[in-house]
Amino acid sequence: MTTMQQPLTISISETAAEHVRHFMMVDGKEGYTVRVGVKGGGCSGLTYDLNIVPEPGENDKIIEEHGVRLSVDKKSYVFLAGTVLDYSGGLNGKGFVFNNPNAKTACGCGTSFSV
């Protein structure tokens, strides 16, 4: 029997990439980078951080997918490896969602996690 190995990278879904490209266009930020990361805080210990920046940070890991450039700092990468950045739309949607296989617990409102 074989098991599927979770790829040790960060990826972005096609839907999320579409929204990113749309936001970049509206804000006149085409060609910018989506910098994802982790911050200390939230009830569970770690929260996600998502910014559109002109350039990736020095020493950031760069991932290009669906026409979007993602960058992540090395320390955050440890906590985000395997994460898929998705987008939950509609009236009840949550917007950008981090599907993180490393998250063992999440707080009640779902914005923070622990590993």
Partner 1 sequence: MRDGALTQMNAMSAHYGDPAIEFAALEFGVGVTDRSHVGRLRLLGSDVLDLLDRLTTNKLENLEPGEGLPTVLTTNKGRVVDLLTLTATDGHLLCLTSLGRQQVVAEWLDFYTFSEDATVEDASAGTAQLSLAGPGAAKLLERLGIDVSGLPAFHSRTHVLAKADVLVWHMLSAGTPTYEIIVPVAAAAGAWEAFTQAGAVPTGHEAWEAYRVRHGMPAYGAEFGDDTNPLESRLKGAISFNKGCYIGQEVVARLNTYQKVQRRLMAVTFSDPAKIGDALKSAGGISAGIVTSAVQVPGGGTFIGLALVRQEHAAPGVTLLVADRDTTAILSEPAFALATEPVEA
Per CB under 8 A, 10 contacts partner 1 = no
Half-sphere exposure of 99 (CA within 13 A, CB side): 10
Contact residue for partner 1 among 18, 23, 24, 42 (CB under 8 A):
42
SS3 content of the chain, % helix, strand, coil (to 5): 15, 40, 45
Smallest gap, in angstroms, from Cβ of residue 78 to partner 1? 10
**CA terminus-to-terminus distance, the chain:** 28
Cα separation of 39 and 58, whole Å? 18
Span interacting with partner 1, options 7-15, 23-31, 82-90, 101-109, rule CB under 8 A: 101-109
Smallest gap, in angstroms, from Cβ of residue 109 to partner 1? 8
Per CB under 8 A, 56 contacts partner 1 = no
- Among 58, 44, 39, 49, which Cα is nearest to 85's? 49
Residue ranges in contact with partner 1 by CB under 8 A: 37-47, 49, 57, 73, 75-76, 105, 107-108, 111-112, 114
